[in-house]
């Protein structure tokens, strides 16, 4: 059964059409990868799904409920959480307080919020840094904090936007393990944007490839890496850059 359904989504900025007739489904319990070169429209798509932008046309439904025109905080309340390309901790607050804030939404059961936040920090490997000022964390730990804060909202669907950006190989491996655990052991439905292709392909079950705002291919990781359109979007564009 599909958790998320996107149909014929369009978004333009002046003369630039950033998202064009995008349709896709996300099944419950799936980890779906969104693949595409820089500027392909991936983050704009996330912004449309989470209420940060309103589409010009199209429909987004979460288990049959429309998300069009719903503001971001209410989208979170409906069960869709996300992380961002750039980490955005609440400055001046501790790591623990950052996660407690994420627990204030309507989906969170009436429990001890601090205790629940500590459990989430333990889950992402930050329990020992609960009292540290969030802005003092390393970049890799800030990535983990973003995930913990998103998990605190009790999401049905988690959107990760380039979680490996700026991380070293050891940090990427550890974060990959965490994402895999959230998916496999907890059954969390996840959408993932990432440019680290090897790690991306090892994590996702299915891929939707986008270029110039349009879906150009859809399939398993094995099918996508053989797609002529995907190869052209990456390799062909690199050849053009070298020629220039």
177: closest CA among 157, 163, 159? 163
Residue 234 lies in a domain: yes
| CATH number (domain holding residue 211) | 3.40.50.300
Element (H, E) at 19: strand 16-27
Residue 51 lies in a domain: yes
Residue 20 lies in a domain: yes
Residues 6+ apart with CB under 8 A from 60: 4, 5, 6, 7, 9, 48, 49, 66, 67, 68
Tens of pLDDT along the chain (244 residues) come to: 899 999 999 999 999 999 999 999 999 999 999 999 989 999 999 999 999 999 999 999 999 999 999 999 999 999 999 999 888 899 999 999 999 999 998 888 888 999 999 999 999 999 999 999 999 999 999 999 999 999 999 999 999 999 999 899 999 999 999 999 999 888 999 999 998 989 999 999 999 999 999 999 999 999 999 999 999 988 665 444 433 3
Residue 225 lies in a domain: yes
Rounded Cα distance between 25 and 182, Å, is 20
Residue 93 lies in a domain: no
Are 152 and 102 a contacting pair, CB within 8 Å?
A: yes
Report the first-to-last Cα separation within the chain, whole angstroms: 47
Cα 18 to Cα 27, 44, 177, 215, 235: the distances in Å are: 25, 7, 32, 12, 21
What domain range is 194 assigned to?
A: 16-87+155-243
Q: Which phi and psi (to 5°) does residue 140 adopt?
A: -60, -40
Q: Which phi and psi (to 5°) does residue 22 adopt?
A: -85, 125
Cα 168 to Cα 128, 141, 173, 197, 200: the distances in Å are: 21, 12, 9, 14, 15
Cα 92 to Cα 1, 100, 121, 177: the distances in Å are: 42, 14, 18, 30
Residue 232 lies in a domain: yes
Are 83 and 147 a contacting pair, CB within 8 Å?
A: yes
Residue 106 lies in a domain: no
The number of distinct structural domains making up the chain is 1
In this prediction, residue 112 carries a pLDDT of 93
Residue 22 lies in a domain: yes
Tokens 């989470």 correspond to what residue?
50
């Amino acid at each position: 059964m599909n958790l998320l359904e996107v149909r014929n989504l369009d978004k333009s900025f002046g003369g630039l059409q950033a998202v064009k007739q995008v349709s896709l489904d996300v099944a419950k319990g799936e980890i779906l990868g969104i693949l595409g070169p820089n500027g392909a429209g991936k983050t704009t798509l996330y912004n449309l799904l989470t209420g940060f932008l309103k589409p010009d046309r199209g429909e987004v439904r979460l288990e049959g409920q429309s998300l069009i025109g719903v503001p971001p905080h209410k989208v979170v309340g409906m069960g869709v959480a996300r992380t961002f390309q750039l980490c955005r901790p609440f400055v001046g607050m501790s790591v623990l307080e950052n996660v407690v804030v994420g627990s204030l939404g309507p989906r969170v059961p009436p429990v001890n919020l601090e205790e629940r936040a500590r459990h989430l920090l333990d889950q992402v490997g930050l329990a020992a840094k609960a009292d540290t000022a969030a802005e003092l964390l390393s970049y890799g730990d800030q990535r983990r904090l973003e995930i913990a804060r998103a998990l605190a909202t009790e999401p049905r669907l988690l959107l990760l936007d380039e979680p490996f950006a700026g991380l070293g190989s050891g940090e990427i491996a550890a974060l990959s393990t965490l994402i895999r655990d959230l998916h496999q052991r907890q059954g969390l439905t996840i959408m993932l944007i990432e440019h680290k292709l090897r790690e991306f392909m090892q994590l996702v079950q299915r891929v939707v490839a986008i270029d110039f705002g349009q879906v150009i291919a859809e399939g398993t990781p094995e099918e996508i890496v053989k797609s002529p359109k995907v190869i052209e979007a990456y390799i062909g564009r690199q050849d053009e850059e070298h020629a220039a």
